Amino acid sequence: MQQHPLLISSLIEHAARAHPDVPIISQMPDAAPHRCTYTDIDRRARQLAGALTALGVREGDRVGTLAWNGHRHLELFFGASGMGAVLHTVNPRLFPEQIEFIINHAEDQHLFFDIGFIALVEQLAPRLRSVKSLVAMAGRAQMPACSMRALLCYEELLAAQDAGYRWPRLDENAASSLCYTSGTTGNPKGVLYSHRSTVLHTMAVCMADSIGLSARDTLFIAAPMFHVNAWGTPYACAMVGAGMILPGSALDGASIYRSMCEEKATAALGVPTVWLALQQHVASQNRQPRQELRLNRVLIGGSAAPRAVVEVFERDFGVRVLHGWGMTETSPLASIGRPLRKHEDDSVEQRITLQTKQGRVPYGVEVKITDDAGNELPRDGAACGHLQVRGQWIASGYFRGEVGPIVDAEDWFDTGDIATIDADGYIQITDRAKDLIKSGGEWISSISLENAAVGHPSVAEAAVIAVAHPKWQERPLMIVVKKPGCEISKQQLLDHLSGQVAKWWLPDDIVFVAEIPHTATGKIQKMKLRERFGKTVWGDR
Ligand code: AMP
């Protein structure tokens, strides 16, 4: 048999040849949607590869992005990785100091950014040690007025290149992209994907029992391209010739609904918060989604899909929910829920119950659950254990070997999630071992908040727990013990925190208590706090 490396460039080459006219629609800020095709993306990705070469980018160099979902970001997905660079998609929602850390740690050589992030880039630029040039993803007419040196114009870079660039035949095990986890303790850690792992993951995303993408689909990509590469779906669309709708930053319910209707989306993916916003919009405006939408399935992941969201999609939208689970370390798709043959006669209720589980593994991924001693637990849907995973697109370590080995001798990676697995292989995430808070699909570190609070001279101790929230899924609640004889108000503490953490990390409420419970080894007993405060209803306070 022939040997051809599995390369990201082969995806866009194939799309341009086999599906040249398929539309890619990008919502632009304050403008009509931008429309192009795979032919255009292929040509411009080659021009971009030529431009990167001209800038001196070599194989393995990191190219950073701070950008929403749009056609230029898509060109970077193919152009930067295709020419041998490592595409590093940075999450612009992080606190500026985290962004600075991540870009410096990755040693990004060039940073491409949406002009909406100009203020952030200006603030960060003096501290980005490795970055040689900053590229505004815009045409000359939209270039921001600013004093930064080394500011380049994306469209001018492309215009200087012809489309004759030929993709190099790279080693399929070479690095292609880099994403950082938000970091539970300590600093964020990078996960470096290879061309091979990406292409294999892409095949799994497309398979019938996964998203089941095809040339008849138009995929609405509401998962940001900086969140594990939009779950690999831009590659998947290119592989099968599906159309894409890239919504930019317009992720409110009204914008999503309008765009889905106008562009005839057939499938979509995103975190539960996005779908809550869409469903609230539809309900408040008395829309008729069954008549107005072509949508037939929605992939929900990033955090657990609430039953109510699944029900509304099924009953009011006539849309099938695919519930997926994964993490940055798993590329991310590691499991996805579709009914089996035996479920064909299930009632709607039974099917919805099945859909609230996180699904089954595709070929290429293996899972097991273990007890605290590492012994495998039964797959009976009842035993709860540490979810372990291994496979073709699962990380074997972090970028630069941070934190040392992360897999055991048999390659099992402990995900930090607690789960059950039933006899049919359906995984259900019941808890997370870590104490992070997931708000709107993004992590908030309880430890960072606690440390910031304890930095106030009147605070003796602080603990932060997640409390369920109707819109954001979870929001932080802070529990504080004051130092004896000291006074501090809720507002004073919030003011203190707001200088140190991102605004959306601020706790929704602060409760002052006389004492926080501890374990024998002096650790805060969050279980106890959850029992006492976990039923807080936001708005009550
Ligand atoms: P990240 O690496 O930021 O994507 O976060 C990965 C973590 O998100 C996992 O370890 C889970 O704790 C959580 N997660 C992702 N998808 C789901 C899901 N469908 N249900 C419950 N938790 C999820």
Residue 43 CA to ligand 1 center (angstroms) comes to 36
pLDDT at 522: 54
pLDDT over 50 (residue 541): no
The whole-angstrom separation of Cα 319 and Cα 315 is: 8
Residue 49: Cβ within 10 Å count: 27
> What's the pLDDT band for 185 if we cut at 50, 70, 90?
low
Confidence band of 108 (pLDDT split at 50, 70, 90): very high
Buried b (16+ CB within 10 A) or exposed e, 252-291: ebbbbbebbeebebbbbbbbbbbbbbbbbbbeeeebebee
Neighbouring C-alpha atoms within 13 Å toward the C-beta of 216:
4
Helix or strand or coil: residue 69? strand
Ligand 1 neighbourhood includes 104 CB (under 6 angstroms): no
- The response to whether residue 432 sits with its C-beta less than 6 Å from ligand 1 reads yes
pLDDT at 140: 94
* Nearest protein Cα to ligand 1, atom 17: 303
Q: Is beta strand 62-66 parallel, antiparallel or unpaired with respect to 108-113? A: parallel
Three-class DSSP labels, 302-354: CCCCCHHHHHHHHHHHCCEEEEEEECHHHCCEEEECCCCHHHCCCCHHHHHHH
Catalytically active residues, by annotation: 181, 329, 438, 443
Index of the ligand 1 atom closest to the CA of residue 328: 2
Please tell me the distance between residue 303's alpha carbon and the centre of ligand 1 in angstroms: 5
CA distance 223 to 520: 42
The predicted pLDDT at position 457 comes to: 87
Q: Is the CB of 332 under 6 A from ligand 1?
A: yes
**Which residues fall within 8 angstroms of residue 171, CB to CB, at 6 or more apart?**
5, 195
pLDDT in tens, 469-505: 988 989 999 999 998 899 999 999 999 999 888 899 9
The reported pLDDT for the residue numbered 344 is 95
CA distances from 525 to 51, 266, 398, 474 (A): 54, 46, 29, 19
Look at domain 8-24+31-194 and name its CATH class.
alpha beta
Q: Quick one: pLDDT band at residue 432, thresholds 50, 70, 90? A: low
Q: Which two tokens stand for residue 261?
A: 């209707």
Closest residue to atom 4 of ligand 1, CA basis: 327
Q: Angle, nearest 10°, between helix axes 71-82 and 8-18? A: 120
Domain residue spans in the chain?
Answer: 8-24+31-194, 352-433, 436-533
Is-contact 64 88, C-beta < 8 A? yes
C-beta of 473 in contact with ligand 1 (< 6 A): no
Question: Considering the entire predicted model, what is its pTM?
Answer: 0.85
Q: Which residues pair with 89 in a beta bridge?
A: 65
CA of 434 to the centre of ligand 1 (A): 11
pLDDT of residue 248: 97
Q: What's the CATH code, domain 436-533? A: 3.30.300.30
CA distance 45 to 52: 10
Q: What string of DSSP letters covers 160-220? A: TS-S--------TTSEEEEEE---SSSS--EEEEEHHHHHHHHHHHHSTTTT---TT-EEE
Contact 407, 398 (CB under 8 A): no
Q: How far is the CA of 153 from the centre of ligand 1 (A)?
A: 37
Mean pLDDT of the 38-62 span: 98
Residue 231 Rama label (left phi>0; alpha psi -120 to 50; beta): left
CB of 358 closer than 6 A to ligand 1? yes
- Report the atom number in ligand 1 closest to the C-alpha of 324: 19
In 211-254, which ranges are E strands? 218-221, 243-246
DSSP state of 433: S
Number of other residues whose CB lies within 10 A of the CB of residue 26: 21
Asked if residue 331 has its Cβ within 6 Å of ligand 1, the reply is no
Evaluate if residue 439 carries a pLDDT over 90. Answer: no
Complete edge-to-edge strand list for the sheet that includes strand 427-432? 365-370, 385-391, 413-421, 427-432
Judge whether 321 and 298 are in contact, CB under 8 Å. yes
> How many angstroms separate the alpha carbon of residue 429 from the centre of ligand 1?
9
Taking the domain 352-433, which CATH number applies?
A: 2.30.38.10
Residue of 319, 221, 341 lying closest to 270 (CA atoms): 221
14 pLDDT tier (thresholds 50, 70, 90)? very high
Tokens of 9: 């460039």
Q: In degrees rounded to 5, what are phi and psi of residue 526?
A: -70, -30
Q: Give the total residue count for the chain.
A: 541
pLDDT at 540 over 70: no
Is there a contact between 451 and 284 (Cβ–Cβ < 8 Å)?
Answer: no
Residues 325-360: tens digit of each pLDDT: 999 999 999 999 999 999 999 999 999 999 989 999
Structure token pair of residue 380: 């009976």
Please tell me if the CB atom of residue 325 comes closer than 6 angstroms to any atom of ligand 1: yes
How many Å is the Cα radius of gyration of the chain? 23
* Closest residue to atom 20 of ligand 1, CA basis: 304
Give the residue, out of 189, 273, 303, with the most ligand 1 atoms within 8 A of its beta carbon, to mutate for a pocket test. Answer: 303
pLDDT at position 521 = 42
Give the residue whose CA is nearest to atom 5 of ligand 1: 327
- For ligand 1, say whether the CB of 415 is within 6 Å of any of its atoms: yes
Does pLDDT of 109 surpass 50?
A: yes
Any ligand 1 atom below 6 A from CB of 301: yes
